[in-house]
């Protein structure tokens, strides 16, 4: 089959199919009820980010007057926007059905989510007091009729659109003008929890009211100065383009430029307008006219509530049986958390697989380095930090103890820019040497290099990870971290940090595969080796676990390998533009996706290599941005025990027959079902590492 006959799945549609897998978890009756609500929140949050980034990108192509066929791989941009909107409306409708069903099931457990018209007299007293003391001081209310300019609506915020039907004897307004209605917007404060727990009744039943409905109940308090006959209240929300526009003022520091662009992001063009489909037509018409929204924007009728990402923090009310059972992260065999990690790593490499094993080893490693008098320098790359970061405090501690601390911090980590700027400024004040990336490239690799003086000589230690050094997400994201003192690997890693300092010089690496200069070429070579081995009759296969597979060049190489008879197994959590199992193109390729309690985040590459497998962990997906526009590090695994651990973890995931879905041309997310013993891979992986301790 010639190259120009290869087929692909559109990237944006594939992403929506991934989010459909998240919605499947919310629908799954085997998933605990509160976890199902959490998946609704994840689904909603994902969708917000999709519109802020991917939809906005396609929309810019439309506004530029381009067809977008080349950029969008065969689909005209405007048609793609229409298809996206149709899919989103269908998914939103399904999500509303799921929420209603979950709430009915919660009632079986004595938990009731009530609306404003269901409030009892005693609950009303509590709500009035709560509104007065907590909600009212935080409200921002706009009387739209009186404003010359429509107020700026925040991205990600939700608003109540209010129509007051006036009593014609209202002395506050001139009724001679024929004004029958007043319109207002109330911003729902994000400083207050979205779900308000009401007192239990005498039978022990528990009640929750959504903040929006609590505000609806108190409309008479908000608009007490108006003599209105009737009030109608409906929610609206807009999503804005999240692109950063970084100016070229050389007088400003990079932090200043990013800070300004993050601030200006608030003014991004609207890309989605969502409204309660039961809204009064005249209210909707009024709002759209004032907001200058037309059919070039994505206008989506929705349900009564928006910003459903808040369901991620739905109160548990002590009902542990309605959530997933938590487990204690395991220790890493042979790596004593109370002893010196340096002494252990000096003898052999260790693999950490969070959250099955404790992320605290990474913090322990940095804290030990901060105190160790033999440590002279610490170099680390940071992409995302938790809001309260022990990683950052450990680095500051090291700087205060006289270590030369260098931090490459990515100020353009999407939606974490403000947090990273705050930490950058805090570390800079404490004497940490900061590097702000490479012009034109994001630094996405997750690495750390420590130099220690031993016997008058310099000895290197470090770790390379597939995930962020973020203790919060480490509880819910699965990721590998390799601790090593291997001089070959760390010599290459030191060259990566040299590249940050002197980035006009392209360095050669002996062992690490580094983007943007070498990853595409080296991965292609590894695929070619498998093709050559297959042609020679040797063992040949490729096994890949990534978040996304969208780069058409790498997909073509996999198609080529498949056509040569190389067996290829893919585990892709998110977007997958490759079409598996198509005769004459990809019949030797199988692909699955796993969505479960934890977010599958590690990247791993296994090449058969004629019977001596080559195994790599990586920060890089096979997306164009990772291969060509970011600094990424892919690390070979030399330790045979760790190599086998990684192969075993891939095999466990590949054999999942509970949470794994088949990826095919239709991307219909069919679950894998077979007669084998039940294998829910995330539970099996915990058992695997637990058994290794024996």
Top pLDDT among 550 and 1 is at 550
Cβ-Cβ contacts under 8 Å for 430 (sequence gap 6 or more) = 396, 399, 400
596-624 mean pLDDT = 97
Q: Contact, 427 vs 396, CB < 8 A?
A: yes
Cβ-Cβ contacts under 8 Å for 273 (sequence gap 6 or more) = 236, 237, 238, 288, 291, 293, 297, 298, 299, 300
Residues 395-400: contacts with CB under 8 Å, at least 24 apart: 395/366, 395/370, 395/427, 395/432, 396/426, 396/427, 396/430, 396/432, 397/367, 397/370, 397/371, 398/366, 398/369, 398/370, 399/427, 399/430, 399/431, 399/432, 400/430, 400/431
Nearest to 160 by CA among 140, 135, 133: 140
The radius of gyration of the chain from alpha carbons, rounded to an integer in Å, stands at 28
Place 303 in a pLDDT band, splitting at 50, 70 and 90. confident
Every domain range in the chain assigned CATH 3.30.1840.10: 115-241+273-310
261-273 mean pLDDT = 59
Active site residue 517: no
Q: What pLDDT does 186 receive?
A: 93
Residue 592 CB neighbours (<10 A)? 22
3-class DSSP state for residue 278? coil
DSSP state of 310: G
Looking at domain 341-501, its CATH superfamily turns out to be Endonuclease Chain A (3.30.870.10)
The CA distance from 21 to 43, in Å, is 9
Record the tokens describing residue 386, joined without a space. 């938790």
In tens, the pLDDT along 348-380 reads: 999 999 999 999 999 999 999 999 999 999 999
The CA distance from 304 to 309, in Å, is 14
In tens, the pLDDT along 503-550 reads: 777 889 999 999 999 999 999 999 999 999 999 999 999 999 999 999
Place 419 in a pLDDT band, splitting at 50, 70 and 90. confident
The mean pLDDT of the chain is 89
Please identify which residue in the block is written with the tokens 């509104």.
131
Place 305 in a pLDDT band, splitting at 50, 70 and 90. confident
Q: Residue 604: in which H helix or E strand, if any?
A: strand 603-607
Q: What pLDDT does 227 receive?
A: 86
Least confident residue range of 4-18, 250-264, 482-496, 623-637: 250-264
Q: What pLDDT does 251 receive?
A: 43
Cβ-Cβ contacts under 8 Å for 106 (sequence gap 6 or more) = 33, 112, 113, 322
148-168 mean pLDDT = 85
The CA distance from 237 to 239, in Å, is 7
Nearest to 540 by CA among 527, 525, 530: 530
Q: What pLDDT does 178 receive?
A: 59
Q: Is the pLDDT of residue 501 over 90?
A: no
Top pLDDT among 260 and 192 is at 192
Q: Is the pLDDT of residue 250 over 50?
A: no
Top pLDDT among 679 and 180 is at 679
474-491 mean pLDDT = 97
Q: What pLDDT does 106 receive?
A: 95
Pick the CATH number of 11-109 from 3.30.2270.10, 1.10.3720.10, 1.20.58.310, 3.40.50.720: 1.20.58.310
Cα angle: 95, vertex 98, 104; to 5 degrees: 145
Q: What pLDDT does 449 receive?
A: 98
Please identify which residue in the block is written with the tokens 């608009």.
223
DSSP string, 20-64: HHHHHHHH-TTS-HHHHHHHHHHHHHHHHHHIIIIIHHHHHHHHT
Length of the chain counted residue by residue: 694
Looking at domain 115-241+273-310, its CATH superfamily turns out to be Polyphosphate kinase middle domain (3.30.1840.10)
The CA distance from 604 to 571, in Å, is 10
Place 258 in a pLDDT band, splitting at 50, 70 and 90. very low
Q: Which residue stretches of 430-573 are H helix? A: 487-501, 519-535, 552-563
Handedness of CA 510, 511, 512, 515 (dihedral sign): positive
The residue annotated as part of the active site, out of 152, 444, 511, 601, is 444
Q: What pLDDT does 273 receive?
A: 84
The CA distance from 165 to 163, in Å, is 6
Q: Is the pLDDT of residue 170 over 90?
A: no
Q: What pLDDT does 298 receive?
A: 72
Every domain range in the chain assigned CATH 3.30.870.10: 341-501, 513-692
In tens, the pLDDT along 639-665 reads: 999 999 999 999 999 999 999 999 999
CATH topology of domain 513-692: Endonuclease; Chain A (3.30.870)
The CA distance from 590 to 567, in Å, is 8
For the purposes of burial, counting CB atoms within 10 Å of the CB of 581, is it exposed (0-12), middle (13-18) or buried (19 or more)?
A: middle
Q: What pLDDT does 270 receive?
A: 66
205-234 mean pLDDT = 93
In tens, the pLDDT along 41-89 reads: 999 999 888 888 788 888 777 777 655 544 455 678 888 888 988 998 8
The CA distance from 682 to 687, in Å, is 9
393-414 mean pLDDT = 87
Q: What pLDDT does 173 receive?
A: 53
Q: What pLDDT does 146 receive?
A: 78
How large a percentage of the chain has pLDDT more than 90?
67
Place 264 in a pLDDT band, splitting at 50, 70 and 90. very low
Q: What pLDDT does 505 receive?
A: 77
Q: Contact, 200 vs 110, CB < 8 A?
A: no
The CA distance from 645 to 688, in Å, is 9
Q: What pLDDT does 395 receive?
A: 94
Least confident residue range of 16-25, 186-195, 677-686: 186-195
197-215 mean pLDDT = 93
Q: What pLDDT does 438 receive?
A: 80
Least confident residue range of 198-207, 430-439, 478-487: 430-439
């Amino acid at each position: 089959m010639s190259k120009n006959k290869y087929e692909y799945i559109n990237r944006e549609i594939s992403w929506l199919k991934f989010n459909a897998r998240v919605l499947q978890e919310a629908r799954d009756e085997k998933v605990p009820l509160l976890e199902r609500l959490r998946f609704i929140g994840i689904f909603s949050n994902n969708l917000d980010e999709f519109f802020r980034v991917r939809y906005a990108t396609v929309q810019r192509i439309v506004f530029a007057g381009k067809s977008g066929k080349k950029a969008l791989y065969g689909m005209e941009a405007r048609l793609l926007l229409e298809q996206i909107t149709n899919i989103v409306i269908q998914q939103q409708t399904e999500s509303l059905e799921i929420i209603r069903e979950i709430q009915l099931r919660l009632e079986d457990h004595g938990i009731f989510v009530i609306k404003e018209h269901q409030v009892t007299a005693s609950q009303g007293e509590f709500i009035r007091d709560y509104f007065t003391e907590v909600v009212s001081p935080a409200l921002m209310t706009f009387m739209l009729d009186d404003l010359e300019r429509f107020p700026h609506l925040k991205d990600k915020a939700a608003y109540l659109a209010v129509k007051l039907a006036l009593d014609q004897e209202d002395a506050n307004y001139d009724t001679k003008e024929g004004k029958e209605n007043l319109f207002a917007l109330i911003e729902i404060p994000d400083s207050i929890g979205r779900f308000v727990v009401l007192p239990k009744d005498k039978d022990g039943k528990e009640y929750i009211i959504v903040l929006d409905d609590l505000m609806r109940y108190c409309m008479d308090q908000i608009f007490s100065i108006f003599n209105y006959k009737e009030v109608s209240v409906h929610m609206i929300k807009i999503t804005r383009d999240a692109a950063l526009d970084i100016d070229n003022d050389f007088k400003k520091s990079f932090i200043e430029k990013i800070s300004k662009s993050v601030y200006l992001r608030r003014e991004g063009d609207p890309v989605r307008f969502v409204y309660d489909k039961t809204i009064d037509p005249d209210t909707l018409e009024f709002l759209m006219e004032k907001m200058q929204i037309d059919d070039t924007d994505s206008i989506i009728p929705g349900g009564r509530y928006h910003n459903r990402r808040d369901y991620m923090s739905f109160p548990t009310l002590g009902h542990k049986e309605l959530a997933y059972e938590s487990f204690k992260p395991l220790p890493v065999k042979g790596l004593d958390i109370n002893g010196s990690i340096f002494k252990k790593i000096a003898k052999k490499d260790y693999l950490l697989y969070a959250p099955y094993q404790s992320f605290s080893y990474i913090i322990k490693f940095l804290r030990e380095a901060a105190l160790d008098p033999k440590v002279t320098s610490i170099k680390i790359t940071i992409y995302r930090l938790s809001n309260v970061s022990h990683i950052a405090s450990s680095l500051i501690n090291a700087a205060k103890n006289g270590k030369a601390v260098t931090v490459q911090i990515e100020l353009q980590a999407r939606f974490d820019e403000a947090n990273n700027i705050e930490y950058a400024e805090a570390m800079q004040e404490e004497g940490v040497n900061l590097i702000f990336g490479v012009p034109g490239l994001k630094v996405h690799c997750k690495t750390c290099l420590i130099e220690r003086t031993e016997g008058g000589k310099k000895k290197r230690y470090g770790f390379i990870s597939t995930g962020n050094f973020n203790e919060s997400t480490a509880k819910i994201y699965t990721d590998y971290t390799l601790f090593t003192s291997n001089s070959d690997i760390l010599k290459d890693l030191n060259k990566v940090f040299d590249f940050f300092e002197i980035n006009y010089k392209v360095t050669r690496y002996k062992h690490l595969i580094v983007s943007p200069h070498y990853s595409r070429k080296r991965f292609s070579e590894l695929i070619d080796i498998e093709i050559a081995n297959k042609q020679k009759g040797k063992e040949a296969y490729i096994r890949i676990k990534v978040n996304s597979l969208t780069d058409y060049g790498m997909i073509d190489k996999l198609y080529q390998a498949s056509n040569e008879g190389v067996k290829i197994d893919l585990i892709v959590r998110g977007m997958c533009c490759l079409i598996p199992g198509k005769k004459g193109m990809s019949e030797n390729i199988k692909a699955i996706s796993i969505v479960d309690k934890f977010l599958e985040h590690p990247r791993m590459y296994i090449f058969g290599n004629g019977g001596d497998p080559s195994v790599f962990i990586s920060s890089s997906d096979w997306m164009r941005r990772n291969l060509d526009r970011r600094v990424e590090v892919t690390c070979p695994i030399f330790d045979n025990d760790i190599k086998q651990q990684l192969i075993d973890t891939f095999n466990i995931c590949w054999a999942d027959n509970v949470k794994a879905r088949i990826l095919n041309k239709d991307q219909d997310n069919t679950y894998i079902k077979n007669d084998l013993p039940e294998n829910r891979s995330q539970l099996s992986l915990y058992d695997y590492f637990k058994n290794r301790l024996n």
